[in-house]
Amino acid sequence: MQKTLTDRELLDSLADEVETNLRRHIEVAEGWQPHEQVPWSDGRNFAFLGGEDWAPEQSELSDTARLALTVSVLVADNLPSYHRELGKHLRTGPWWRWVGRWTAEENRHEIMIRNYLMLTRAVDPVALERARMQHMTDGFNRPPMHLIDVLATCAFEEAAAAIRHRNTAAIGENPIVTAMAEKLAADDELQAEFFAVLVAAALDLVPDQAVRAIADRVADFRVPHVDLPGGGSSDEALAEAGIYDPAKEGELVFKPLLQRWNIFSRTDFSEEGEKTRAELAQYQ
């Protein structure tokens, strides 16, 4: 029977991998600046400061681009909740430094998108602010998880976010939106890689325990979603717009990561691990 490690033991056992991976991440990540990505010359005052309030005809974005950016900024707005949930599990040593780095990267996503939406008057600022207040008031809580479950979930979530942003870029809305979405996707992909490397290390350390966590997280995976200002949920709206469809998660999110972790070619599972692997066979 294979060994099982506690979360405390895993935090200690994987700490060197976290340190190495964090240094690699910082070295390869693009240090882009959010203030450089938005057209400041397009901005003008709203009525409170003597200008003109928002009107629908002022938006030059397509419905699809407006939807995609609204979802992205609302998800990013809830960063304090995600930071809190991640910090519950990783509040020590290099793990905590990674939480800080991840949080800073996510925060610049929100800064850039919100600045763009306000400057270009792409969306109703009042409706967006009301949605932000409600979304953050509702907050976000993960169900109780062990460490490997958290790492696998984050790998899946970041991979899914990268797909959403790559598809937003592919719309070809305008050069600025395309460039912004590509930067978001590149960050997401590097973050997904960080978490994926740690899941791979956990698999080498405790194969059965890790594959069980992966299978459980695949079974109950759901991307972060928001209630939209005009009504409805982001899940259905993004799928209809062709930006992100949960029905394609098996092919686009799970399969690539399961292959990366060599789930279907590993030879270090016990009988219990083999049973768990069979639960994932549909993604082979």
Enumerate the known binding-site residues: 106, 109, 158
Which residues are known binding-site members for Fe cation?
A: 106, 109, 158
Query: How far apart are the C-alpha atoms of 87 and 144, rounded to whole Å?
Result: 13
What are the C-alpha distances in Å from 10 to residues 30, 97, 203, 206, 242?
30, 17, 11, 9, 39
| Both structure tokens of 33 | 């600046």
Q: How far is CA 42 from the centre of its chain?
A: 29
- What stretches of the chain show up as alpha helix (H) in DSSP? 7-13, 15-28, 63-77, 79-90, 93-119, 125-138, 147-170, 175-205, 207-219, 234-241, 249, 255-260, 271-279
Query: How far apart are the C-alpha atoms of 70 and 12, rounded to whole Å?
Result: 39
Q: What angle do CA 168, 233, 116 make, to 5 degrees?
A: 40
171, 64 in Cβ contact below 8 A?
Answer: yes
Q: What angle do CA 110, 114, 120 make, to 5 degrees?
A: 150
- What does DSSP assign to residue 51? S
- What does DSSP assign to residue 250? I
| Both structure tokens of 149 | 């479950």
